[in-house]
Structure 1
Amino acid sequence: MTNSIDNGWPDKYSDPRDRPYPALLRVTVESFETMQEDALDAVEKIADGESQPAVVSFATVGNLRKILTNRRIELLQYLIDIDGAAESITAVANELERDYRTVHDDVSLLADHGLLFIIDEGQSKRPYVPYERIHLDVELAGLSAGENSALA
């Protein structure tokens, strides 16, 4: 089932396996302004035929750390290792020897932040990572006058 308005972005009504994805997902920590500039640069490069990684940005290192816990990184790594799609959340929980509810919550949170997708097949919800690699890109640098710390 697909949404009647197709803007090229995955939505809750489409199967994410039907969309093309780059091999790399970059996870960054950057200000909204920097993220906006990077997005505009990427659009220009894509228009010129250059491939670009997918990007998920967090405003602070603290926000990134709240989402990318060791257990959630383990879950993402497992999905990448099995070429992206698990049979079900139950299968992932069993394979990782974790409680179903916590894996379900982790999958939902990672999907809410664009780090994975959920394939809805009736009663079964299949976590899906379309990327071959996820690159965490966190830069720590000295602050210029008036800047806030990214650690907040």
Structure 2
Amino acid sequence: MATTGNSDTTDRTLHIRFREGDDDRIEDALAALDRNEAPEPYFEVVYNDPADVHRVTRPKSLELLRAIVQHDPGSIRETARLVDRDVSQVHRNLKELEELHLVELVDDGQSKRPSVWYEAIDIDLPLVSPDIGSDEATA
């Protein structure tokens, strides 16, 4: 994970999962709350459609996300300049990433500023269907 240069040591990774969330992490967080402890932060998005995972991992999407994380652009127009693309294309892609809960478009005066809170994405994409037992999958 990249560091931000400050002393904040929180994990700023967004976890993307296909079809199933990390139930163990949820149970750990609930157990910590029961003990009156603050659970370790953990952020995930679960997609049920493989097309959504594909939209995240397209080169144009990753290029936009990297530009936002590395340069913190002040507008969609500035983002388009950073990636050397047409503003309308970048706007359309950013709206798509917003629908996928990966980007927030923040009103900033007359323009919208793309914003993300994470510095890395971890994608968990199982190749075996969760309803097939491991014995059946290897048979």
Shift in CA distance, 143/117, structure 1 to aligned 2, threshold 3 Å: closer
Contact 1:46 1:52 in 2 (8 A): no
Aligned to 1:65: 54
TM-score, reference length from structure 2: 0.72
Percent pairwise identity:
24
Secondary structure of 2:98's counterpart equals helix
Unpaired runs of at least 5, structure 1: 1-20, 147-152
1:145 Cα shift? 4.8
The AA in structure 2 aligned to 1:44 is L
Where do 1:1-150 residues align within 5 Å? 23-30=12-19, 34-35=20-21, 37=23, 40-41=26-27, 43-44=29-30, 47=33, 48-82=37-71, 85-141=72-128, 144-145=131-132
Deviation of the 1:50 alpha carbon: 2.6
Q: Distance in 2 between matches of 1:94 and 1:123?
A: 18
Aligned residues: 121
Q: Alpha carbons of 1:120 and 1:134: their partners in 2 closer, same or farther (altered >3 Å)? A: same
Give the Cα separation in 1 of the matches to 2:98 and 2:115: 9
Q: Normalization by structure 1: what TM-score?
A: 0.67
5+ residue gaps, structure 2: 1-9, 134-139
Q: Secondary structure of the residue that 1:50 maps to in structure 2? A: coil
Distance 1:70 1:86 in 2: 19
How much is the aligned-residue C-alpha RMSD, in angstroms? 2.6
Letter in 2 for 1:98: R
The alpha-carbon distance between structure 1 residues 42 and 125, as it changes in their structure 2 partners (threshold 3 A), is farther
Larger gyration radius, structure 1 or structure 2: 2
Counterpart of 2:66, as a letter, is Q
